[in-house]
Structure 1
């Protein structure tokens, strides 16, 4: 395995990444820094306390940045921090970075960072674990094993100039809990809705009282109206799985999300109209719509949709955890929401999306 480097559009931050089905194989892995003229190499543990031995699906993201990612923002993007180490290293323009050894993988992994200004840098490595929101409530005994299977570990490696922190105070965290939701969704999928506006419109269209909105939406007229008026977006029909839903707080902050590491290209793209006044959308599992309006009164996870405009784009990326340790490969699917100016002429809903065969 030798995943090529991806560079994001502003050509400032170099992003590199891959994913494996079992974090255990990375517990002994080191970042190896070498220079062509030196016989000695620098070897730095990515997990000095061997916490990766408690195996989970794992994604590795390596970023070369002008300044480090705020630790609170890393927690929002990748989940709770459970390991942290930082090294000071001296680099030359020809320095190279390698990850090795990785149990079960013969070749080393090259981080194609290059053209360093000679000097002192900081190499920050943090371990994170994201857990589906469903686990924040009470769980049945049999659900604990399911939650562990759903959890995803991220090894976040960040290289930045040593004087970056001295040059300026660390900026405040911009990413918040309302910019990333990781949760489990059944085969029905989910809707994104401005629930107060949607509830008023539904009552005006089909009257007060209890309704099964799954049936109403499936018939077409109600869904056409709600979609046309920008009160609802949907992923109607999904592989039952855990999904991340990201929505950056602004364009600059969006560059911190290694989109190209979530998957090479979007698996599919949805395009929706969004009410100009809507700034926050509730994420409601489709099966809950059978009990309307009771489901509209529940406290659902919300996602902010910053910016202006009436266009909402939903890109679905799928990163594959490669098979190791006898474990089958697994998908890591992520929806990335982007709001933009204008109003789309056509609505392109996501329907019957398959990420697991």
Structure 2
């Protein structure tokens, strides 16, 4: 592969990211600290314990922070931490940082985070692996290969001033498990709903008992639930595993790797949300066909913090580039935010296609 992996190679940024379809090509990769003279290059191991050798899709994210992201929050964003290494480095305004010795990539990839303020820094390289919520419990042997296909490794490279080398333990983590859900959804898509209030409203409309809400939705009989701000729906998607982030506040949203996500979303949805709603359950849309059973199950929940009556749902799609003969793969991410004011109109997100139709093993 000899194409640039970074979308904004001519721009400096505090975030830099790319993705590959097979993490094993990074097993021998090095982080190179250079000061303009090749003789002064400092190679640093990225994966000394070879966690990446057991290949999966991998996202590489490099970020320059004034204050380091807490490890608990990084695990919320990218999945449980597998291992980490940390190095003390000195940088000048002419220093550069790159990744070299990637199998199949015949050039170093410069992490365009500079120019740097001269001084002492810490580089922390953490390896994470996220698994769909549906597969977090005990698995049968025949399911392991499907789960491995769905999992995503992340190499998180964090650079920050040395005076902040001790991670703050006194302050509570801002990002929690209720701000990120990584899960698998089938062709019908999914809904976001205040399940308790929604179930009460459905009973008012149709009475108690079993209902097939999929049929009601296709007949237009659930439009009022959207208008009342009790639910949002993504109607029809490529069967795949999706991340959904709901930043706890505007400042916390800045830690998301926007270079990875892209400057513009691939798709956008706008919904009305009742101002009293603070938590939304994420439910696969096919479960609506069995409503009485659906409301008795436990579903992942996201906290929609703040005030306002407008929900913005943006879809970003990063491509994991083809390496080792493996096809490129999309890494789709939804970002859910809330803003003040009632939307002029509801803009439903529907018929989301991120890849040519295939049989996805966890659909």
User: TM-score under structure 2 normalisation?
Assistant: 0.93
Equivalent residue number for residue 145 of structure 2: 145
- Equivalent pair of 2:70/2:167 in contact (CA under 8 Å): no
- Equivalent pair of 1:73/1:173 in contact (CA under 8 Å): yes
Equivalent residue number for residue 70 of structure 2: 70
Matched, 1:250 2:223: no
Q: In structure 2, how many angstroms separate the alpha carbons of the residues matched to 1:100 and 1:149?
A: 26
Deviation of 1:161 after TM superposition, in Å, equals: 0.5
Deviation of 1:142 after TM superposition, in Å, equals: 2.4
Structure 1 residues 166 and 55: alpha-carbon distance in aligned structure 2, compared to 1, 3 A threshold = closer
Deviation of 1:5 after TM superposition, in Å, equals: 4.5
Deviation of 1:356 after TM superposition, in Å, equals: 1.6
Q: Output one character per residue of 1:196-217: Cα deviation in whole Å (capped at 9) or x when no partner.
A: 1111111111222211000011
Structure 2's unaligned 5+ residue stretches are 357-363
Equivalent residue number for residue 338 of structure 1: 337
Deviation of 1:282 after TM superposition, in Å, equals: 0.5
Deviation of 1:147 after TM superposition, in Å, equals: 0.5
Q: In structure 2, how many angstroms separate the alpha carbons of the residues matched to 1:61 and 1:236?
A: 31
Equivalent residue number for residue 193 of structure 2: 193
Structure 1 residues 166 and 243: alpha-carbon distance in aligned structure 2, compared to 1, 3 A threshold = closer
Q: In structure 2, how many angstroms separate the alpha carbons of the residues matched to 1:24 and 1:331?
A: 18
Structure 1 residues 343 and 7: alpha-carbon distance in aligned structure 2, compared to 1, 3 A threshold = farther
Matched positions, count: 353
CA RMSD of aligned residues (A): 1.9
Deviation of 1:40 after TM superposition, in Å, equals: 2.0
Matched position secondary structure for 1:200 = helix
Larger mean CA deviation between 130-139 and 148-157 belongs to: 130-139
Matched, 1:317 2:316: yes
- Equivalent pair of 1:233/1:272 in contact (CA under 8 Å): yes
Q: In structure 2, how many angstroms separate the alpha carbons of the residues matched to 1:54 and 1:300?
A: 31
Equivalent residue number for residue 361 of structure 2: none
Equivalent residue number for residue 35 of structure 2: 35
Q: In structure 1, how many angstroms separate the alpha carbons of the residues matched to 2:72 and 2:167?
A: 20
Deviation of 1:6 after TM superposition, in Å, equals: 8.2
Structure 1 residues 137 and 168: alpha-carbon distance in aligned structure 2, compared to 1, 3 A threshold = closer
Q: In structure 2, how many angstroms separate the alpha carbons of the residues matched to 1:6 and 1:110?
A: 9
Q: In structure 1, how many angstroms separate the alpha carbons of the residues matched to 2:10 and 2:181?
A: 25
Q: In structure 1, how many angstroms separate the alpha carbons of the residues matched to 2:8 and 2:146?
A: 33
Equivalent residue number for residue 297 of structure 1: 296
Q: Output one character per residue of 1:219-253: Cα deviation in whole Å (capped at 9) or x when no partner.
A: 0122x101000011011111000000100111111
Matched position secondary structure for 1:221 = coil
Matched position secondary structure for 2:135 = helix
Equivalent residue number for residue 240 of structure 1: 239
Equivalent residue number for residue 88 of structure 2: 88
Structure 1 residues 101 and 16: alpha-carbon distance in aligned structure 2, compared to 1, 3 A threshold = same
Structure 1 residues 344 and 192: alpha-carbon distance in aligned structure 2, compared to 1, 3 A threshold = same
